[in-house]
Amino acid sequence: MDVKDINKDLINSIITVQGWIRNHRKQTTFGFIDFSDGTCFKHLQIVYDNSLDNFQEISKLLVGCAIEAQGKLVESQGKQEFELQATKIKLLGDCPADYPIQPKRHTNEFLRSVAHLRPRTNLYQAVFKVRSVAAFAIHEYFQTHNYQYIHTPLLTTADCEGENQMFKVTTLDFNNLPLVDGKVDMSKDLFGKQAYITGTGQLHGEAFAMACKKIYTFGPTFRTENSNTKTHANEFWMIEPEIAFCDLNELMNIEEEMLKSVVSYVLKNCLDEITFLDRFVEKGLLDKLNALVNSTFKRITHHEAVDILLSADIKWEFTPSYEDDIAKEHEKYITEYFKGPVFIYNWPKDIKAWYMKENSDGKTVAAVDLEVPGSGELMGGSQREEDYDKILKRAQKMGVDIDTVNWYLDLRRFGGCYHSGFGMGFERLIMYLTGVENIRDVIAFPRTPKSCDF
């Protein structure tokens, strides 16, 4: 039986559970085992005494051992709602005394060094339960709103994020590379040309949006950024919807509705985990998440955001500019200024991607970032340029290899329409939902510069 399925209705029933010892307190004639099988955040207390034939062996079991326990479920005399009075305990997997995850507080830095064992701690069981439930909530939102789930390729030749941002893929022998005029002859490679591990599913997603109206992708993406910040990783997951016949205003409506839906679902289905994280990771986490669900997201232009920042009586580390991106300190101030989430839209075109729709002012594009209190940017999206001549000119100006995206440009020639989409880094969302500050602690086996262990 799973611990998650145990309830008051089973009191006085004989049940059998299988899982791991999280703590073990032994007395002369009895003992208490703090037991977890990972199916829920709450643990089960197992009580045993010297009436068991193998009492001495049981009393020597250490933290980390895998066991099977059978007994009667009874009302607890302590803080627990109920406990198991064991009539039989069987060792299924021994664990030595040098087991690294002892019942004490460990630093996150240490736990990253034993990433294969850290799921056995309370913190990571809470974080990854939230991650699992949030993933389900995302699928549920899009599926119930008539989006098709599209599996876009991980291997690509399309230059979307810029080849300097993407990992190169090859089957060539580095010790015997075919050369032509001193350069590697990629025609001899498996695909006959340079290929990459994708940095986004957006371009391929747009192709399906032009046939299915509403689609979303949800999968791993890869970037080569040599960044060691708390919010960057070289492998991460992205949610990327693309919607035909959707302008920038409607896109913001969808972003707000989707985020509120996901947060509400997590609050409903992970209350134990969020309560734990509120107590031990981020004070006020519950209030923050409930406030988001009940708020109306503010909408301002990039120009209006800079106006607010320049009029603030603050000496900024990075001076706000109408031509540039805004910094983390600016994002924080804007959300505090409006006391809630803020959409910032109509960004300077020279700092945004080549596929975004140019506004009539000739200076900005119909792009939008969602800033949330405590985390900064959570989503980024835009209305895509639907005019073939304009997007071709823009791509050429920004140095995009047109040969790699000709198929994408064709979408404007053959029945194209106005359309929009956004991307949300899944790990950024989990950091927001859990209060965990480092992306390395919300992804199972993080891949970051100089770190590709396990």
Both 31 and 137 in one domain: the answer is no
Give me the mean pLDDT over the 35-60 stretch: 95
Both 85 and 42 in one domain: the answer is yes
Both 81 and 132 in one domain: the answer is no
In a domain, 183, yes or no: no
Both 248 and 312 in one domain: the answer is yes
Residue 45 to residues 15, 36, 72, 227, 291, Cα–Cα distance (Å): 13, 9, 12, 44, 35
Residue 290 to residues 257, 405, 430, 433, Cα–Cα distance (Å): 14, 43, 15, 11
Number of domains in the chain: 2
Both 123 and 55 in one domain: the answer is no
Better-predicted residue by pLDDT, 138 or 227: 138
Both 20 and 128 in one domain: the answer is no
Residue 32: give its domain's CATH number: 2.40.50.140
Better-predicted residue by pLDDT, 242 or 164: 242
C-beta separation of 148 from 212 below 8 A: yes
Determine the pLDDT at residue 159. Answer: 63
Q: What is the pTM of this model?
A: 0.93
In a domain, 386, yes or no: yes
Both 69 and 217 in one domain: the answer is no
Residue 163 confidence class, pLDDT cut points 50, 70, 90: low
Both 23 and 126 in one domain: the answer is no
Helix axes 122-144, 426-434, angle to 10 degrees: 120
Determine the pLDDT at residue 84. Answer: 96
Both 213 and 266 in one domain: the answer is yes
Both 64 and 152 in one domain: the answer is no
In a domain, 447, yes or no: no
C-beta separation of 270 from 133 below 8 A: yes
In a domain, 67, yes or no: yes
Compute the C-alpha angle 8/13/19, nearest 5°.
85
Both 69 and 124 in one domain: the answer is no
Residue 215 to residues 54, 272, 275, Cα–Cα distance (Å): 59, 33, 34
Q: Is it the case that residue 79 has pLDDT exceeding 80?
A: no
Site of tokens 């109306």: 296
In a domain, 35, yes or no: yes
> pLDDT tens digits, residue range 270-315?
999 999 999 999 999 999 999 999 999 999 999 999 999 999 999 9
Both 303 and 385 in one domain: the answer is yes
Please report, rounded to a whole number, the percentage of residues in the chain having pLDDT higher than 90.
92
Give me the domain span that covers residue 44: 3-93
Please report, rounded to a whole number, the percentage of residues in the chain having pLDDT higher than 70.
99
Q: Mean pLDDT in the chain?
A: 95
Structure tokens, 99:
């087991």
In a domain, 37, yes or no: yes
Domain boundary among 43, 76, 93: 93
Determine the pLDDT at residue 76. Answer: 87
Give me the mean pLDDT over the 417-424 stretch: 97
Q: Is it the case that residue 43 has pLDDT exceeding 90?
A: yes
Residue 147: give its domain's CATH number: 3.30.930.10
* In 161-236, alpha helices (H): 202-212
Determine the pLDDT at residue 201. Answer: 92
> pLDDT tens digits, residue range 333-360?
999 999 999 999 999 999 999 999 999 9
